Amino acid sequence: MVKVKFVIKRTGAVVPFSEDRIANAIYRAAVSVGGRDKDKAAELAKQVIKIIDERYNENDKPHIEEIQDIVEKVLIENGHAKVAKEYILYREEAARRRKEDSRHFSKPSEYIPWAKVWRSLNWAVDHGLHTIKSANERIKKGEFAQIVHEVESYYDDQLNTAAEMIKERSDELRMVMVSGPSSSGKTTTTFKLEQKLKKMNMSFVPLIVDHYFFDLELHPKDEFGDYDFETPQALDLELINEHLRRLADGEEVKIPYYDFKEGKRYLDRTPLKVEANQVLLIDSLHGLYPEFSKAIPSAQKFKLYLEPLLQMKTNAGDFIRWTDLRLIRRMLRDSVHRAYKPEQTLLHWHYVRSSEKRNILPYCNTADYIVNTSMPFEVPLYRPRLLNDFNEWTEKYKNDPLRIDAYTRAERLSRVLSEIEPVEDDSPVPNDSVLREFIGGSVFDQHK
């Protein structure tokens, strides 16, 4: 057993030292470069532990950066240069993000589609939905149903634009990719977009990317036993590219089948072919990730990016965070459709954010078109559903150094939902709304 009992995090918090975290960190770096040998990761972790034991006494509290330096040293000395490089790059990216956060956005972030954000803010101001205060005033006047109508019309206008852009390129297109971070509304948007394009005489063949997951036992997980499904490396990118290339060439392929109950993939299960007059329709978190479709020429694919780019300020003058909207959406959806408790979603969200900051958000500006899927009327509907829970989680994780992320998000959303005027009756929300994907009652009964 390792002598060191505690380590110091970058925040200064002192937390228990976990041997599993080292093996998991090494394995995650290996997965990022195509490696999936858990035994090798465990063996390298033992070497790291040995050096820690030689260097520190049981009363020492090494800094996390010192531990990571040792991991890099072991990886390099054992000839794992590619894994070491990925590990180093991850550390550098994390350091850069922390530095940018400390600057309070003193320079534009490449993660933000600024032109779309400006148009969305302009729309919100015109409709009196740019602050919680102004939204509350409209709700108190009995205008909730009207707000729903205005928001849904704005969303529909965006989908019409996207459909027209796709139609203009229909002669050369072989696939349309609907992408965006978790709980952006990809399922509903994909269905509605397909409906609009069918009216334009376009025919589609769907490809369910979830069937390309590697077996669960090959996925990285943390010391809490939480698996990471958010990274693009959880998918067999090599097989996806092979199938996309062959489908684009008019060949038939056999799609694998992934059994989520077993956590196991079965190859060569379902025949699929895209005819000359058809287009492949792909709904995926990672549709913009370069490695996802590197085998396909740009002219043959249309990339649509979705994100709820809500432009609404709190009473303190801060904008409601888009990631917080998506967190609530996923909590509600997963509790109904995946038997996943909202608290579990909160505790897992650090994985979601970590992966999307590296693998989704940096590519948003490479999309052919961006759809703002925020529904300003969703915020008042969330208050009666989750405010008490966020208050409870704020107290529960307030002094837990291992759950700082969960506490920060819970406390922030507790404040936001406390300010908004509550609306319990969701009947004005159409049954084909993006929001129905999360609060229930959607006419689109597929959930991904």
Report the CATH number at residue 277. 3.40.50.300
Residue 292: give the domain boundaries: 114-439
pTM score: 0.82
- Polymer length in residues for the chain: 448
Which residue, among 317, 309, 368, 21, has the nearest Cα to 165 in the 3D structure? 368
Beta bridge partners of 282: 177, 207
- Which string of b and e fits 179-201 if b means at least 16 CB within 10 Å? bbbbbbbbbbbbbbbbebbeeee
Indicate if 366 and 251 belong to the same structural domain.
Answer: yes
More confident residue, 410 or 10: 410
445 within a domain of the structure (yes/no) = no
pLDDT of residue 403: 92
Indicate if 401 and 432 belong to the same structural domain.
Answer: yes
107 within a domain of the structure (yes/no) = no
78 within a domain of the structure (yes/no) = yes
Convert the pLDDT of each residue in 107-165 to its tens digit: 556 778 999 999 999 999 999 999 999 999 999 999 999 999 999 999 999 999 999 99
pLDDT of residue 11: 73
Q: What whole-number percentage of the chain has pLDDT above 90?
A: 64
- Measured CA to CA, the distance from residue 347 to residue 59 in angstroms comes to 30
Indicate if 96 and 122 belong to the same structural domain.
Answer: no
Question: Residue 226: which pLDDT band, with cuts at 50, 70 and 90?
Answer: low
pLDDT of residue 104: 47
Convert the pLDDT of each residue in 389-412 to its tens digit: 999 999 999 999 889 999 999 999
Beta bridge partners of 178: 283, 304
Indicate if 403 and 281 belong to the same structural domain.
Answer: yes
Place of tokens 């291992």: 402
pLDDT at 103 over 50: no
- Measured CA to CA, the distance from residue 167 to residue 200 in angstroms comes to 7
pLDDT of residue 225: 63
Indicate if 233 and 318 belong to the same structural domain.
Answer: yes
176 within a domain of the structure (yes/no) = yes
User: Longest C-alpha distance within the chain, in Å?
Assistant: 72
DSSP 8-state class, residue 219: S
Convert the pLDDT of each residue in 320-342 to its tens digit: 999 999 999 999 998 877 678 99
Q: Of 79, 102, 125, which closes a domain?
A: 102
Indicate if 171 and 263 belong to the same structural domain.
Answer: yes
Convert the pLDDT of each residue in 12-57 to its tens digit: 878 888 878 888 888 878 877 777 788 888 888 889 888 998 899 8
Average pLDDT estimate for 269-298: 94
- Which string of b and e fits 415-428 if b means at least 16 CB within 10 Å? ebbebbbebeebee
Work out the mean pLDDT of the chain and round it to a whole number. 90
Contacts of 262 (CB under 8 A, 6+ apart): none
pLDDT at 287 over 80: yes
DSSP 8-state class, residue 78: T
More confident residue, 359 or 374: 374
Indicate if 322 and 393 belong to the same structural domain.
Answer: yes
